[in-house]
C-alpha cells in the first residue's frame, strides 16, 4: 500500500471509531479527518473546495431554510395538531393515520422537525385513549425514516449518494426516480409496524397503561375531593398555573423543547408563502427545469427577499452541523477514490461474489451496507459504499444504478439501535424505551426492508 492509501485508511478508521465512541461531535470529527487528509497531501484544496460547494450541500442548505420557514410559521404544528381531533372518531387508528401522514411528509421535509412536532401530539393522542405512547413513538420514528426513501430530497443520504455518483462519472438521480423502490419498502415496512411491530411493544406498554389507569382513578378521586373543598382550597405559597409559552423558539432536535414546537401559533400569511415557495421548488426540480440545488437555493433566497423570514432566521435554520458533516465526509470519501482504496475494496468483494452474478452481488452488498448503518452514521456509510457500488458494477459489467439505489435504501434503514438515527434518539428519550426495545422491533424491520428492497430494485433499476 502507498503512503496515501495508508493515510486515507487510518483517517477513515479513526473517524469511524470516534463517531462510534460518541464523545465528540460528528461534524467536528469529519472536519478533523478532512483537515488531516489535506495537510498530508492525500487530497488537494480543489477537492476540499468541491466538497463544500457540492450540489448536495447547497440543496440541503436551501431546503433547511425553507423547512425552517414552514416551521416558524406554525404550519407543520397546525397540521399535526388538527389530527388530534381524529381520535374522537377513529380511536387508536387515528394515531396510525397521523404516523402515516408524517411518513409521507418525511419524503419532502427533513424528518427531524417532523418528529419533533409530531411526537408530543402522538403522545397526547395515546394518553387520551389510555394507551402508552410506547406503542406509537418508535413506529413514528421508523415511518419518517422510511418516508425519506420516497424522494431524492427525503434525506440527506440520498442527495449525498447522488453527489458521490456524479463524482464517479455517473448521472445524477431525478427527484422521483427512487420513489418506486422507496414506496415498496415503506409499504412493506409500514405493514409490519402496524400488524406486528406495535404488538411486540405490548409487554412494556401494558405495564405503563396499568399505571396510567391507576393514576387516572387516583386523580379522579382527588378531583372529587377538591370539588367538595373548593370554597376553601387555596394555592400553596409560590404555586402558579402552568401556561404554554408558545414562544416559537424550539430548536430542532432538542427534546426539552418539544412542547414549544407543538404549541407554535399559525401565521397564515407566512405559512401560505412558505408553502407556495416549497411547492415551487419541488415542481421546478420535478419537471427538470433546474437542478434541485439551484431551485432550493433560489427558494431560500426568495423567502428572504419576500420578507417571509429574516436573514437571521434563515441562518438559524441552516443546521451547519449537518452541512459540515456531509462536506467533511465527502472529502474523506474522495480520498478513498483518489488513492484507489475504493477500487481495492471492490476488487476484494468482487472476488467473493463474482461467480454468483449481479443479483447475488446486490443481495450481499445491500446486506453489508444495511448492517453497517446500524454501527456507523448514514453519511459515513453513503460515502464509504457509493464508490464501491460503482466499482462493483463496473467489474461485473452491469449498470451501477441498482447498487447506488441499494446504498440509498440501506444507508437510511437504521432501525436496530436507538443511536443510529437522530429521530430514534428523540423517541428513545421521550418514550423511555430500552436499548433492546429497538433491537426487538428494529432488527426484524431491517430484514423485512432488505427483502423488499431486493424485490423492488431489479424491477425499477434493471441490471
Domain boundaries, the chain: 3-208+250-460
Instruction: Give the separation between CA 127 and CA 106, rounded to whole angstroms.
Output: 24
Q: Which of 450, 455, 361 is nearest to 413 (CA)?
A: 450
Task: Out of 53-62, 178-187, 260-269, 401-410, pick the least confident.
Answer: 260-269
Question: When comparing pLDDT for 79 and 132, which is higher?
Answer: 132
Top mean pLDDT of 127-141, 209-223, 342-356, 439-453 is at: 439-453
Q: Are the beta carbons of 369 and 381 closer than 8 angstroms?
A: yes
pLDDT at 224: 55
Q: Which of 369, 380, 370, 393 is nearest to 336 (CA)?
A: 380
Instruction: Give the separation between CA 275 and CA 277, rounded to whole angstroms.
Output: 5
Residues 6 or more apart from 422 whose CB is under 8 A from it? 112, 253
Q: Which of 422, 322, 419, 413 is nearest to 373 (CA)?
A: 413
Q: Are the beta carbons of 31 and 328 closer than 8 angstroms?
A: yes
Instruction: Give the separation between CA 58 and CA 417, rounded to whole angstroms.
Output: 30
pLDDT in tens, 198-248: 888 877 777 777 777 777 766 666 655 555 544 434 333 333 333 333 433
**Mean pLDDT score of the chain, rounded to an integer?**
82
Provide the 8-state DSSP code for 97: H
Residues 6 or more apart from 202 whose CB is under 8 A from it? 135
pLDDT at 279: 87
Q: Which of 324, 327, 316, 329 is nearest to 254 (CA)?
A: 316
For residue 99, the Cα-to-chain-centroid distance in whole angstroms is 15
pLDDT band of 166, cuts 50, 70, 90 = confident
Instruction: Give the separation between CA 118 and CA 116, rounded to whole angstroms.
Output: 6
pLDDT at 256: 47
Q: Are the beta carbons of 356 and 65 closer than 8 angstroms?
A: no
Q: Are the beta carbons of 442 and 415 closer than 8 angstroms?
A: yes
Q: Are the beta carbons of 107 and 150 closer than 8 angstroms?
A: yes
pLDDT in tens, 381-418: 888 889 889 988 988 899 999 999 999 999 988 798 87
For residue 91, the Cα-to-chain-centroid distance in whole angstroms is 28
Q: pTM for this structure?
A: 0.71
Instruction: Give the separation between CA 462 and CA 359, rounded to whole angstroms.
Output: 10
Question: When comparing pLDDT for 283 and 362, which is higher?
Answer: 362
Q: Which of 145, 185, 112 is nearest to 426 (CA)?
A: 112
Instruction: Give the separation between CA 424 and CA 422, rounded to whole angstroms.
Output: 5
Provide the 8-state DSSP code for 374: T
Instruction: Give the separation between CA 250 and CA 262, rounded to whole angstroms.
Output: 9
pLDDT at 410: 95
Helix axes 134-147, 111-128, angle to 10 degrees: 150
DSSP-based three-state secondary structure for 252: coil
Amino acid at each position: 500500500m502507498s503512503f496515501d492509501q495508508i493515510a486515507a485508511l487510518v483517517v477513515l478508521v479513526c473517524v469511524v471509531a470516534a463517531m462510534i465512541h460518541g464523545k465528540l461531535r460528528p461534524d467536528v470529527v469529519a472536519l478533523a479527518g478532512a483537515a488531516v487528509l489535506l495537510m498530508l497531501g492525500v487530497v488537494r484544496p480543489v477537492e476540499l473546495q468541491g466538497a463544500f460547494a457540492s450540489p448536495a450541500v447547497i440543496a440541503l442548505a436551501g431546503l433547511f431554510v425553507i423547512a425552517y420557514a414552514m416551521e416558524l410559521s406554525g404550519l407543520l404544528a397546525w397540521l399535526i395538531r388538527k389530527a388530534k381531533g381524529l381520535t374522537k372518531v377513529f380511536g387508536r387508528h387515528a394515531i396510525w393515520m397521523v404516523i402515516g401522514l408524517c411518513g409521507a411528509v418525511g419524503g419532502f421535509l427533513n424528518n427531524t422537525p417532523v418528529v419533533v412536532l409530531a411526537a408530543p401530539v402522538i403522545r397526547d393522542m395515546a394518553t387520551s385513549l389510555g394507551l402508552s405512547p410506547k406503542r406509537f413513538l418508535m413506529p413514528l420514528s421508523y415511518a419518517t425514516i422510511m418516508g425519506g426513501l420516497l424522494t431524492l430530497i427525503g434525506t440527506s443520504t440520498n442527495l449525498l449518494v447522488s453527489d458521490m455518483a456524479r463524482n464517479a462519472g455517473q448521472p445524477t438521480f431525478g427527484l422521483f426516480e427512487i420513489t418506486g423502490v422507496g414506496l415498496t419498502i415503506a409499504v412493506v415496512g409500514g405493514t409490519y409496524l402496524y400488524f406486528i411491530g406495535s404488538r411486540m411493544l405490548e409487554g412494556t406498554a401494558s405495564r405503563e397503561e396499568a399505571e396510567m389507569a391507576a393514576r387516572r382513578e387516583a386523580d379522579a378521586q382527588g378531583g372529587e375531593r377538591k370539588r367538595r373543598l373548593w370554597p376553601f382550597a387555596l394555592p400553596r405559597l409560590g404555586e402558579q398555573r402552568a401556561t404554554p409559552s408558545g414562544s416559537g423558539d424550539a430548536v430542532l432536535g432538542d427534546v426539552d423543547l418539544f412542547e414549544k414546537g407543538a404549541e407554535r401559533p399559525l401565521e397564515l400569511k407566512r405559512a401560505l408563502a412558505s408553502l407556495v415557495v416549497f411547492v415551487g421548488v419541488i415542481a421546478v426540480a420535478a419537471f427538470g427545469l433546474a437542478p434541485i440545488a439551484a431551485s432550493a437555493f433560489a427558494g431560500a433566497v426568495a423567502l428572504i427577499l419576500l420578507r417571509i423570514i429574516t436573514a437571521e432566521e434563515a441562518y438559524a435554520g441552516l443546521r451547519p452541523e449537518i452541512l459540515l458533516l456531509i462536506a467533511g465526509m465527502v472529502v474523506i470519501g474522495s480520498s478513498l477514490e483518489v488513492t484507489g482504496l475504493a477500487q481495492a475494496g471492490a476488487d476484494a468483494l468482487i472476488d467473493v461474489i463474482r461467480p454468483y452474478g449481479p443479483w447475488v452481488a446486490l443481495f450481499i452488498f445491500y446486506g453489508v451496507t444495511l448492517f453497517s448503518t446500524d454501527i456507523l452514521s448514514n453519511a459515513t456509510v453513503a460515502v464509504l459504499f457509493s464508490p464501491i457500488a460503482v466499482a462493483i458494477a463496473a467489474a461485473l459489467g452491469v449498470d451501477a444504478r441498482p447498487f447506488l439505489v441499494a446504498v440509498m435504501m440501506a444507508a437510511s434503514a437504521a432501525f436496530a439501535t436507538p443511536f443510529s438515527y437522530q429521530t430514534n434518539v428523540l423517541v428513545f428519550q421521550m418514550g423511555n424505551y430500552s436499548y433492546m426495545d429497538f433491537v426487538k422491533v428494529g432488527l426484524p424491520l431491517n430484514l423485512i426492508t432488505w427483502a423488499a428492497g431486493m424485490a423492488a430494485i431489479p424491477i425499477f433499476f434493471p441490471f
